[in-house]
């Protein structure tokens, strides 16, 4: 049984290629982990925040404070040494405690989104973004019995659960299940022998899951 339609796969690969091209310096960084561009170039970090819709603070200074906090003591680099995602969950709690307060106008709403997206740049073959659309898609693909069954041969669409997963490690567990199952195999066969390996496969999986979660449904 095919998990995704050819139309979805073509679109997902194109989206992943565009994203990879835009952030190639980070995805393909081969030097020391602490020398990756996004952790060493403040302007690049600000661009990342804007394009990935994280840290929606009103001032650049506030974003810089978070950037410094993540880089100090190698906090983000230590977090990505654990591919289960448990350390990302721990760091998310730490960063929420550090930067959130009842009277803070710029509320830090979802630190796991920021941290997972950074992790996907630092170790692209191991991490995937904690995106709300991809989470809905992953929960559907990995636990399809929780949703109405799609018509035979139809695309996987319109999952109903809005906010599945309470932490990143649970989400990463289901994504790993998808990677190792028929959906992951279908995507690898579709991509073919790509030298970027699982790092690029995971980017395509991410786009497919976002489509299942209705990320671009109005553009269909």
Q: What is the pLDDT of residue 153?
A: 46
Tell me what percent of the residues of the chain surpass a pLDDT of 70. Answer: 83
Of 90, 122, 154, the one marking the end of a domain is: 122
pLDDT at 89 exceeding the cut of 90: yes
Count the domains in the chain: 2
Residue 81 pLDDT? 96
Whether the CB-CB separation of 57 and 50 falls below 8 Å is answered with no
Q: Are residues 210 and 194 in the same domain?
A: yes
Domain stop point among 62, 92, 122: 122
pLDDT at 159: 53
Chain position carrying tokens 């977090």: 79
Same domain, yes or no: 115 and 135: no
Residue owning tokens 């991490």: 127
Query: Is there a domain that residue 1 lies in?
Result: no
Tens of pLDDT, residues 35-73: 999 999 999 999 999 999 888 776 778 888 889 999 999
87 and 166 belong to one structural domain: no
Rounded to an integer, the average pLDDT of 111-119 is 94
Residue 27 lies in a domain: no
> In this model, does residue 105 exceed pLDDT 90?
no
Could you report the per-residue pLDDT of 145-204, keeping only the tens digit for each? Answer: 555 445 444 455 555 556 678 899 999 999 999 999 999 999 999 999 999 999 999 999
**38 and 94 belong to one structural domain:** yes
For every residue of 45-84, DSSP letters joined together read HHHHHHHTT----SSHHHHHHHHHHHHGGGHHHHHTT-TT
Could you tell me if 187 and 108 lie in one domain? no
- Mean of the per-residue pLDDT values of the chain: 86
Residues 156 and 116 in one domain: no
Residue 163: the pLDDT is 67
Domain membership of residue 220 (yes or no) is no
- Kindly tell me if the per-residue pLDDT of 118 is higher than 60: yes
Average pLDDT over residues 129-145: 86
Tell me the average pLDDT across 199-220: 82
Looking at the structure, tell me whether residues 131 and 118 fall in a common domain. no
Q: Which domain holds residue 70?
A: 33-122
Q: What is this structure's pTM?
A: 0.87
| Residue that has been written with the tokens 């671009």 in this structure | 216
How many beta carbons lie within 10 A of that of residue 106, not counting itself?
14
Would you say residue 28 lies in a domain? no
**Is there a domain that residue 155 lies in?**
yes
The sign of the CA dihedral 45, 46, 47, 50 is positive
In a domain, 165, yes or no: yes
In the prediction, which pLDDT does 1 show? Answer: 45
Q: How far is CA 4 from CA 66, 110, 117, 176, 206, in A?
A: 38, 29, 24, 17, 13
Whether residue 131 is found in the same domain as residue 111: no
On whether both 103 and 165 belong to a single domain, the answer is: no
103 contacts: CB under 8 Å, gap ≥ 6: none
Same domain, 146 and 117: no
One domain for residues 109 and 134: no
Are both 118 and 133 inside the same structural domain? no
Question: Do the domain assignments include residue 201?
Answer: yes
Mean pLDDT in residue range 205-216: 86
Last residue of a domain, one of 122, 138, 171: 122
Higher-scoring residue by pLDDT: 92, 104: 92
Q: Which residue has the tokens 């497919």?
A: 208
Share of the chain above pLDDT 90, in %: 60
């Amino acid at each position: 049984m095919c998990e995704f339609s050819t139309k979805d796969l073509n679109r997902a690969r194109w989206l992943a290629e565009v994203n990879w091209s835009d952030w190639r310096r980070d995805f393909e960084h081969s030097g020391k982990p602490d020398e990756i561009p996004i952790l060493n170039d403040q302007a690049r970090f600000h661009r990342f925040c804007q394009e990935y819709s994280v840290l929606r603070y009103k001032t650049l200074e506030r974003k810089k404070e978070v950037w410094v906090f993540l880089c100090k003591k190698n906090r983000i680099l230590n977090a990505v040494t654990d591919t289960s995602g448990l350390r990302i969950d721990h760091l998310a709690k730490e960063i929420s405690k550090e930067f959130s307060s009842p009277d803070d106008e710029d509320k830090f709403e979802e630190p796991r989104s920021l941290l997972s997206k950074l992790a996907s740049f630092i170790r692209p073959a191991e991490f995937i973004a904690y995106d709300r659309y991809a989470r809905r898609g992953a929960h559907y693909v990995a636990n399809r019995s929780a949703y109405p069954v799609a018509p035979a041969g139809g695309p996987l669409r319109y999952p109903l659960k809005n906010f599945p997963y309470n932490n990143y490690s649970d989400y990463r567990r289901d994504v790993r299940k998808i990677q190792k199952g028929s959906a992951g195999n279908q995507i690898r066969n579709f991509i073919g022998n790509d030298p970027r390996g699982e790092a690029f496969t995971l980017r395509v999986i991410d786009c497919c899951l976002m489509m299942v979660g209705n990320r671009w449904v109005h553009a269909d």
